[in-house]
Structure 1
Amino acid sequence: MKLIRAIIRPEREEAVLGRLEAAGLFAVTKMPVLGRGKQRGIQVGPVHYDILSKSMLLLIVGEEEYPRAIAAIEQGAGTGHPGDGKIFVQEVSESYTIRTGTKETESVSE
């Protein structure tokens, strides 16, 4: 399993969620976050905005769903301009369903 953490422009959130649903990926957690990337904020006339609003999406997907999830996020979030965001991927070795206590594991093939 993979944990995908995507930091995207808030105005692209609905497009990304639509692409994920079209790819058959429905489970997602989203939250508003603040931050900046390599560009260190944005300059609008004489005003410099150091910290920008972004949206963070969290998904847990299987090995077979992973490429579809990355493609959906890139297609939905991309504008071709600086500040489109980043996607971070981590391995998840196990998860638990709180209601049932069921442990879910997925073998990681190397």
Structure 2
Amino acid sequence: MKKIEAVIRPEKLDVVKKALADAGFLGMTVSEVKGRGIQGGIVERYRGREYLVDLLPKVKIEMVVKEEDVDEVIKIICENAKTGQHGDGKIFVLPVERVVRVRTGEEGREAI
């Protein structure tokens, strides 16, 4: 099993969530986060003054999927979150050693 963490633009969440659900990937945790990439933030203007916004609002989607589903989930997220501009996000894939469903005690694939 693998954990997928995708950090994307907030305005893309509904599109990505629907595409994942349509493909049968329903379980996820979504958090509002702030971050920046290599661009270091953006310069905004307000009343003629410039100021740096170095932490931009993002959304983090966390999912645990079967190893054979990782490439499909990544493809769905990329296709639906991409704008072609800086700040589209990143996807991280991590190993998962153990999963336990709290309600039933099921473990492994049955618990996903």
Considering the TM-score relative to the shorter chain, is it more than 0.5?
yes
Q: How many Å separate the matches in 2 of 1:23 and 1:4?
A: 16
Tell me whether 1:40 sits opposite 2:40 in the alignment: yes
Q: How far apart are the structure 2 equivalents of 1:58 and 1:95?
A: 14
The answer as to whether partners of 1:6 and 1:58 remain within 8 angstroms in 2 is yes
Deviation at 1:105, TM superposition (A): 5.5
Question: In structure 2, what is the equivalent of residue 74 of structure 1?
Answer: 78
Q: Is 2:29 the partner of 1:29?
A: yes
CA drift of 1:47 comes to 2.4
SS at match of 1:102: coil
Q: Deviations over 1:69-98 (max 9, x none)?
A: 000110111000000000000011210011
Structure 2 matches for 1:87-106, cutoff 5 A?
87-104=91-108
Tell me the equivalent position of 1:7.
Answer: 7
In the TM superposition, residue 52 of structure 1 has moved relative to its aligned partner by 0.7
SS in 1 for 2:33: strand
Equivalent residue letter for 1:86: K
Higher helix share: 2
Distance 1:31 1:94 in 2: 22
Equivalent AA in structure 2 for residue 32 of structure 1: E
Distance 2:15 2:78 in 1: 10
Task: Give TM-score scaled by structure 2 length.
Answer: 0.88
List gaps (5 residues or longer) in structure 2.
Answer: none
Output the CA distance in 1 between the equivalents of 2:102 and 2:65: 18
Q: Aligned letter for 2:51? A: V
Aligned-pair CA distance for 1:44: 2.5
**Post-superposition, which runs of at least 4 consecutive aligned residues in structure 1 deviate over 6 A?**
none
Aligned length: 106
> Which secondary structure does the structure 2 equivalent of 1:73 belong to?
helix
TM-score by length of 1: 0.90
The two structures, once aligned, show a CA RMSD in angstroms of: 1.4
Q: Which runs of 5+ in 1 are unaligned?
A: none
Separation in structure 1 between the aligned mates of residue 9 and residue 51 of structure 2, nearest angstrom: 20
